[in-house]
Amino acid sequence: MHAPLGRRAINAKRLTAVLLGLAIGSGVWAADADSLFGDDLAPTKEAGGGKSGGSGVKGYVQFEAARTTASPEHWSKLRTRAELSAQGALGDGVKYKVSARADYDFAYGINDFYPPEVRRNQRTDLALRENYLDVNAGDWDFRLGRQHVVWGEMVGLFFADVVSARNLREFILPEFEAMRIPQWAARAEYFKDDFHAELLWIPVASYDQIGKPGAEFYPFQPNPPGGSVYLQEKRPRASLDHMNYGLRVSKLTGGLDISAFYYSSMDNQPTFYRTVGAAPTFPFIYEARHDRINQFGGTLAKDFGSVVLKGEAVYTAGRKFTVLRAADADGLVRSDTLDWALGLDFTLPADTRFNVQVFQRTYFSHDPNMIADHRENGYTLYLDGKITDSLQAQALLISSFNRPDWLFRPKLTWNFQRNWRLLFGADIFKGPQTGFFGQYDRKDRVFSEIRYSF
C-alpha cells in the first residue's frame, strides 16, 4: 500500500460561504474531466498497457484554485494547467503518441507565504507526459518511450500500482491520472486468447515528486526539541544497478480476471535517513534517499452483475520505516510488508454508484518504536450519484480502524456544456500529528476547478 494509514471540523456556514465565493464570486473554478478522485479509470487494454487507437490532437485547459482554511487562511493553489497530446500512425503496425503539460501557479507568485525554495519548485512546471512508439507484431505488442504502466487501481489509495511514480506535492488529492508520472520504459506484451503477459524494463527511472520543506504537503518527519534540518533529496544516478524491471501475467477464466507480477526497482518513494546534529541543540538531520526494493503481487476482479469484486495484494521486501527511538543510528528499521485491499462496487438505481473497501498493511519485522502498529487496518467509502443530467455529487471517506485518522472529500461536478466541466469541493483532514492524514490536520481546504477539453 503506497499510502499507509493516517483536528478540526470546518464550520458549515463558513465552508458554504467560501465554496460559493470560490465558485461564483471570485471566478475561481474547478473541473475533473475523466475521473472522480482518480479512482475510476476503466480496466482497458490502454490503461494496463498494449494497443491504443484514435488519432488527432487532443487536450485541455483548466484553472484550479484551493484555499487553506486553517489560520492563517491562504491561497494554496491558483494554478493554470494546459495539456496537449497527439497520436496517429506512422505506417502498418506502428503508432505514436506525444504529449506535454505546462503549469503556472499564481499562488506562489502573489505572496511570500511559502519559503523561496518552495515557490521556485511549485510556481512553474513543464513536463513531458506520454511520448512513445507502439509496434504491433502479431500476438506481440511493443511500446518504447515515456509511458504510464498501470498494474492495478483501487479507490483513493495506491496498492498494486507499483510502477508509477507520482506527483505528491498535493498529497493524494488530485485525480490519479494527473498524479502519475510516466516512466521511460521498454514494454513487450503478449496476447493470446484470454492470456496476457508483460515484460517491462526501465533503464532510467522517474521518482515521486514530494516538493520542498515548507510546502503545503511536504512529508515532514518526527521533530525533536532541537528542531529538524532537511538536506537535498538524493536520487539514484543512472547506472546498471539502478534499473527497474518486472514481469506481469494475467488471465481471464470463468469470469475471474486474475494477475500476478514481480517488480524490482529503486523505490519511487523516498526513505528519510536521519542523523543527529551537533550540540547544543542536537537537531535531527534528514536526507531523503531511494533504496532498491522487490515486490510480488497480484490483482483479481469478478463481475457479479450489478456488483463488482476487486482485490489487490503486494508483498514488499527491502523498504525501511521511521522509528521514534532517538538513539537509533539512522532512525530506520527494515521490515518486509504485505499490503492488501478488497472492495465491492455496487451499481444502484438512479445512476448511483457505491464502493466500499477494506485494506491492511502488515509489518513482518515490527519495531515497538515504529509510528505504525504491527497491523494497520482501514476502510474507504465512496458514493457517486447524479442529481440531474448535468449535476453530479460524490463523496469519499478514507479512514483508519486503528485510530481516529481520516480524510473526507465531498465534491460537486457540473457538466454545463459539452466540453466544459466545473466542480467545487473540500478536503477535510483529521487525526494525530503522526497519522497519515492527521499530519495535515491544519491543511483543510476548499477547492474549485474549471476545465475545457478539446
Helical H runs in 151-305? 176-179
Strand partners, 432: none
∠ CA 269-270-271, nearest 5°, is 120
Report the predicted TM-score, pTM, of the whole model to 2 decimal places: 0.86
28, 67, 108, 300, 393 from 111: Cα distances, Å:
18, 14, 6, 48, 33
How many Å from the N-terminal Cα to the C-terminal Cα in the chain? 35
Cell numbers representing residue 365 in the block: 519485522
17, 150, 214, 217, 295 from 261: Cα distances, Å:
48, 12, 37, 31, 8
Question: What domains lie within the chain, and their CATH numbers?
Answer: 12-453 (2.40.160.10)
pLDDT in the model for residue 45: 42
Nearest to 133 by CA among 142, 124, 125: 142
Helical H runs in 167-315? 176-179
Using CA atoms, how far apart are residues 227 and 334, in angstroms rounded to an integer? 25
Using CA atoms, how far apart are residues 42 and 35, in angstroms rounded to an integer? 10
For residue 72, say if its preceding peptide bond is cis, omega within 30 degrees of 0: yes
pLDDT in the model for residue 55: 61
Nearest to 21 by CA among 337, 453, 452, 446: 446
DSSP state letter for 218: -
How many Cα neighbours within 13 Å face the side chain of 175?
15
The dihedral region occupied by 52, where left means phi > 0, alpha psi between -120 and 50, and beta the remainder, is: beta
Quickly tell me which residue has 494525530 as its cell: 432
Map residue 85 onto helix, strand or coil.
strand
Mean pLDDT (10-residue bins), the chain, 454 residues: 42 38 34 36 40 71 97 95 96 94 95 93 96 96 98 96 97 96 98 96 97 96 91 95 98 96 98 93 95 98 96 98 91 97 96 97 97 97 96 98 98 97 98 95 97 97
Whether 283 and 228 have beta carbons less than 8 Å apart is answered as: yes
Using CA atoms, how far apart are residues 403 and 363, in angstroms rounded to an integer? 17
Whether 76 and 106 have beta carbons less than 8 Å apart is answered as: no
The dihedral region occupied by 19, where left means phi > 0, alpha psi between -120 and 50, and beta the remainder, is: alpha
Using CA atoms, how far apart are residues 385 and 350, in angstroms rounded to an integer? 7
pLDDT in the model for residue 225: 86
Residue type at 250? Answer: S
How many other β-carbons are positioned within 10 Å of the β-carbon of residue 263? 23
Burial class (CB in 10 A: 0-12, 13-18, 19+), 20: middle
What is the b/e burial string over 26-60, where b = at least 16 CB atoms within 10 angstroms of the residue's CB? eebbbbbbebbbbbbbeeeeeebbbebeeeeeeeb
Using CA atoms, how far apart are residues 5 and 426, in angstroms rounded to an integer? 20
How many other β-carbons are positioned within 10 Å of the β-carbon of residue 10? 17
Using CA atoms, how far apart are residues 130 and 62, in angstroms rounded to an integer? 19
Looking only at the bridges linking them, the beta strands covering 228-230 and 284-289 are: parallel
Cell numbers representing residue 96 in the block: 505514436
Cell numbers representing residue 395 in the block: 463523496
